[in-house]
Structures are given as C-alpha cells and as structure tokens.
Structure 1
Amino acid sequence: MSIFHRLRNPCSWRNGVKQIPLDAIIPIFAVPLLAIIASKTIYTTLIVFVTCPIVVYHLHHNFLRFLPRSKFFLMWTITSVLMLMLVFEFCVVPLLEILPEENLVFIICVFGAIICGYKTRINTDKNCGNQDSTGLFDVATGSEEASSRVYYCRICQTSILGREYHCKWLDCCIGSSNLQWYLTCCLLSAVAFIYGSNLTMTSVCHPFILVGTVLLPDDCSDVYHQFDLALCFVSSVYSLVIGIVVVGYLIYHSWLIFKGTTAHERRLNNSNTSSDNGVFNGLSQLVCCQS
C-alpha cells in the first residue's frame, strides 16, 4: 500500500495530484512484455503460456482480492484487445494474405464486442436494488417475485437483480438488465478471437484448404525464424485460447437459460455438492467470475 501512495500523477491544473493504482498499471506493461518474450522461441512460448495463468492466479489470490474494485483484470482485457488488434492490423494485414472483406468482418466483430462490453458495464447500475450484505431487500422497490431473485455482491457493494456473477474481466456484475449485452459481447468476442486467430495462423503458417475457401494452418515450424511472424503466431494462439474460453461460457449460459436459473442460484442450490464447488466454481473464479 505504501507503493500505491508513492505512485502519483501530477494534475495540478485541476485537482492537485491523482493516485495511480499499481494494479491497473501492471497489465499495461506485462501483456506486451509477455508477448515479446513468448515470441523468442517455441520453448519461451510454452513457458509463458503455462506459467502466466499460475502467476496471475497467485497474484490475485494473495494480493489483488484484498483490494477494493481492483482494475487489474479490466486493464488486462483492454490491453490484450488493443495489442491483438494492433498486431493483426500492422503485422498480419501487411502480409497481403487476407482479403479486405475478411478484415472488415473482423473489425466489425471487434468493435461490436467493444460496444456490447461498454453497454454491459453502463447497464450494471440498472441492476441495483435496496439490499444490504445480510440479504435483506426492500420489496417496496419491486415485486415479490423480483425481490426473491436479488442477491448482494460484496465487490460492487450493492444488490443485483438476477445476479449471475461478478465478471472480473469487465469489472462489473452480470444481472438481468445487462445479461443480453454480456452474451452478445461474448458471442462477438468469440467470433473475433477465433476468426482473427484463424486468419493470422493461415497467414504466417503454411495453410491447407479444408473446404471451399476455408483454410486451416498446416505447418508453423518456420514462424520463429522472423520475430514479426513469431509475434503474430503467439498472438493468434493467445487469441484462440481466449476464444475457446469465451465459447465455453456461452455454452454454460445457454444451458442456464434452458434450465431457467442463474449461475448464482445454481451455486446456492449446489453449495453442498463437492464436485460442483470443487471443479467448476474453482475454475470459474480463476478464469472469469467471482461469487
């Protein structure tokens, strides 16, 4: 905490000095640096992709979770999206292996996901009700049925109607009023990440035709001979991993909607089930959300 107080940004023309949170600064330098290190050799790529989730988990478990509304994961999201977008537009597109229509589809998906993510955050306030940490809700503000589905978020320190979980990567709670924006953001993000990964890999690797005009990477053994190609390849792998995780959450939420429940209610109903709490809840808290 003493480091936090020492990191200040001079803004004397308005409010004197402004504190810069250290947890928000780390991803801005860490994400590009890790991408550069991973682009050196195949071994550094494997080391970074294996150790990075472990280090981030321990950083969150031992430090970040004690900070009120840490911006670490939100800044990691923003930095990752910007980095992948810049690498694609300034390193992959100049290779002249991508059609203008393909680049246009990619850009539309990226900006659509950004807009939906922004809408998810600003619509979080509409979820709020009059509830405290004891779980008491003022039914005067809504119907009895609605009040029975309001749950308190200790991170946002307010109650959320139809609460799913607190998404660390968007730094907001997912509830009934922003669930559609969140799912649309996930859908467009999954398309952008996976489609962009495929376009990048088939540009820097030797591709083969799967069917029609659909290409898949075949031989990527030469990418580490040039740094820019290696950086594109590492970015595509990173993008593919994120896309697969987002697809997993889309499938999970589709199943919850089919069951007519929420992630929070399912955790409450299965609080005594060791398999659910031990496997999915632990994984979900590591990858995306907090109960």
Structure 2
Amino acid sequence: MNNNQSDNLHCCEYINMNEEKSTIIPDICICPPCGNCCSNLLKCPPSRDIEINIMVANIQDRFRIPWRGGARRISLDSAVPLLLFPAALYFAAQGFWPTILIFSLVTLFLYYTHRTVRKYRVATKFFYVWTLTSASLVFIIFQFLVVYMLDINTDENIIFTIFMVATAVCFFRTKKLAIKSHLKQDLEMTNLNENEVDENAILLDDTEDILCSPCKRVVPPRAYHCFVCKTCVIQQHVHSYWIDCCIGKHNRKPYIAGLILGAILFTFLSNLILTTLCHPFNVFATVLLPDDCSDVYYDIVYGICFVSGLYCFAVAVILLFMFLYDTYMVSLGITYHEWQERCKEYKGDRPWFLSRQIIGNVGSNWRTFFNNI
C-alpha cells in the first residue's frame, strides 16, 4: 500500500483488498459479493454459484476499528473468543440448566471446530486466542473475586501463582523452540492438489532421505510436512492449535511438562474455587472436596466463580488425558503420525504395540527422549 495514500486516510477509511479507498460502515450494505450471494440464494431453484468465499473475504476485510491514520483490520477468528468465552461464562452462571446447556454447546462447538480445521488444515488463531482469553479471565476471576470476597489463604494463593508461572513458562518455551524443529523457515510452498494428500501431515520414509512432494526437496528421516506451518518439521508429533505451533523434536519436552503442570494447576484452582463456594467435606487431613453447591446461583458473582471452577476442572481432565497420551507415545518411541501409519500398515494377530520388542524398549525410548537435543 502506498504510504502517501495511507497518510490521507481518516480514522474510518482504509485501503481494501482491491487497493481501493473504502470506509467501514457506509458500503457494507452495497457489497457486491453480499448482494450476489443473496440474489443467487433467492433464485428458484437456488444457484450454487453464491460466491461465499468472496463474501467472507469481503466481510473480513471490512471488519475493522476506527484508528488514527486509517481503520485497522481485526481478525474474525481472533475476535470471536474474546466475546464468546465471557458471554458463555455469564449465561452459564444463570442457573443449573443454563450451566449444563452452555457447557454442552461450548464443548460440541470446540470439538467440531477443532476437528474441521484439522481436517482442512486451516491456519487459524481461534484456539490460541481462546487459550489466552480463558486463562486470563479465570486468573482475573480468581484473584479479584474469589480471593477478595472469600476465604483463600495466602499460602494457597502463592502455590497457585507458582504453578501458574511454571505452566506459562513451559508453554512459552514450547512456542519459542518450535521454530528450531523447522527444516527451513523461509521455504515457499508450492500449490498442492487436495486430492493428492489425504492426511494433515505427510509421513516420510523412516529409513532414508527422500523427497517431500510439497516442499520439492530432500528431507531427513522422521521429518513430516505440516500444511499449517508450511514447512517440514523434524519429528513432528502434532500441530497444536491451542498454542499455535508444531510439537517437534526440540519442544516436545517443555510441551509435556506444560501439560502435567497445567493439569495440576487447574485441578488445584478448581478445588480452591469449588470448596470455597460450596459446602466442603474432609477427605483426609486438610484435603477438602466440594459437597453441596445448591446455593451458588443465588448471586451472579458467585455463579460466575462457580462455573469458572467447573471450567477449570474440565480443562484439568483434558490436560491430564493429553499428558497420559503423550507419555504413552514417548514410551513407544513414536509420534502421533507414526502411530497412525503403523496402525494402518500392521496386519498381525495382535496389536503391534503389545509386541515384546516394543514393551522391552520402553526404558531406552525414555532415555532417548531425555537425551534428545
């Protein structure tokens, strides 16, 4: 975009994707793709040529906020979690049945959205922004509502803070070290026919260097092509949308450490919130568990704290499951993609991962994992 042209823009103007001057509000209603889409849908029978992709691109291009020097564009997938998560907490805090309904709908929405973006290899910030938004909002609710209004000991708050910082450091290291597993950061992708690739990543030969068809270059053994990062990744385990990076050779250890620390953190936080709001009972010594939570919906603030505690418990269960699954993969000495390929190719009488050779190599696989630099 021409700098001289952008200097002449007022706060509601911007240069659109066609390199033309436009404004945020007045021309939304006369957007040609939107008009063509509506016209084609109203035909009898409806036309299939509705230009949905063009319409969505125009809507995203116009989703901006007034700013000095020209309106700034906001990514839709980044903006939705900022509105959706607080709204979900608020409506879930209205009562028992709203809690059940909202948690069910959010779970299904996240599951099918995540499944869809993985299937079509869509690059999106939605889940990463959801992670940051939910973690930040739960922290604010705990510190400014639960700690301020209810009985939380200083020692308990210190323990929570320590685990929170340790978890954040592990995931920060995971994201920072992800690029070290990339074979080439400045690699430009070539166009790839959708029918030529069935998986999210291409499993390459484990015995010798071969040619990666999307990259058009020779890659080392156990390298996998990620269509989201648009490069080959050494020992790629999976592309994590939740922290917006690939888990590979150089960042798998902090990733697994972050999973177990996160599971402990959210379990502890959930227990603190729920045992403070509900009537607790002693399990042994000073360990408490929530018992009667029937009074939490009489006040909206208590209701928000309560559903935040439930959300923390759900996150803790998911992180614990992911940690156990990843430790199982490390014990076998493989990644997620290698697991998929071996399950497809194995034709023995019993599962390949129950063979004596696999079971006998568990110790050496863990030594290799810790020594892998």
Aligned to 2:125: 71
Amino acid across the alignment from 2:165? F
Query: Which fold has the larger relative contact order, with Cα–Cα distance below 8 Å and residues 6 or more apart in sequence?
Result: 1
Q: What's the C-alpha RMSD, in Å, of the aligned pairs?
A: 2.5
Question: Which is greater in Rg?
Answer: 2
Rounded Cα–Cα distance in structure 1 between residues aligned with 2:124 and 2:93: 29
Match 1:254 to one of 327, 330, 351: 327
Q: Which has the higher helix share?
A: 1
Superposed, 1:33-182 pairs within 5 Å as 33-59=87-113, 68-130=122-184, 136=210, 147-182=220-255
Aligned to 1:281: none
Aligned to 1:240: 313
Q: 1:22 to 1:66 in 2, by over 3 A?
A: farther
Q: 1:67 to 1:8 in 2, by over 3 A?
A: farther
Q: 1:177 to 1:105 in 2, by over 3 A?
A: same
Q: 1:271 to 1:58 in 2, by over 3 A?
A: same
Q: 1:214 to 1:119 in 2, by over 3 A?
A: same
Q: Is the 8 A contact 2:271 2:309 kept in 1?
A: yes
Secondary structure, aligned partner of 1:152: strand
Superposed, 1:184-195 pairs within 5 Å as 184-195=257-268
Secondary structure, aligned partner of 1:209: strand
Q: 1:20 to 1:68 in 2, by over 3 A?
A: farther
Percent identical residues: 31
Secondary structure, aligned partner of 2:233: strand
Match 1:4 to one of 45, 60, 64: 60
The number of equivalent residue pairs is 266
Q: By how many angstroms is 1:96 displaced? A: 3.9
Amino acid across the alignment from 2:281? F
1:55-87 per-residue CA deviation (whole Å, 9 max, x = no partner) reads 334445668976852100000000000111011
Q: Which runs of 5+ in 2 are unaligned?
A: 1-56, 190-200, 205-209, 213-217, 352-373
- TM-score under structure 1 length normalisation: 0.84
Q: Is the 8 A contact 1:64 1:70 kept in 2?
A: no
Q: By how many angstroms is 1:222 displaced? A: 0.7
Q: 1:56 to 1:159 in 2, by over 3 A?
A: same
Q: Which runs of 5+ in 1 are unaligned?
A: 139-143, 277-291
Q: By how many angstroms is 1:52 displaced? A: 1.3
Q: By how many angstroms is 1:227 displaced? A: 1.1
Aligned to 1:228: 301
Q: By how many angstroms is 1:51 displaced? A: 1.2
Q: Is the 8 A contact 1:137 1:147 kept in 2?
A: no
Match 2:84 to one of 7, 30, 33: 30
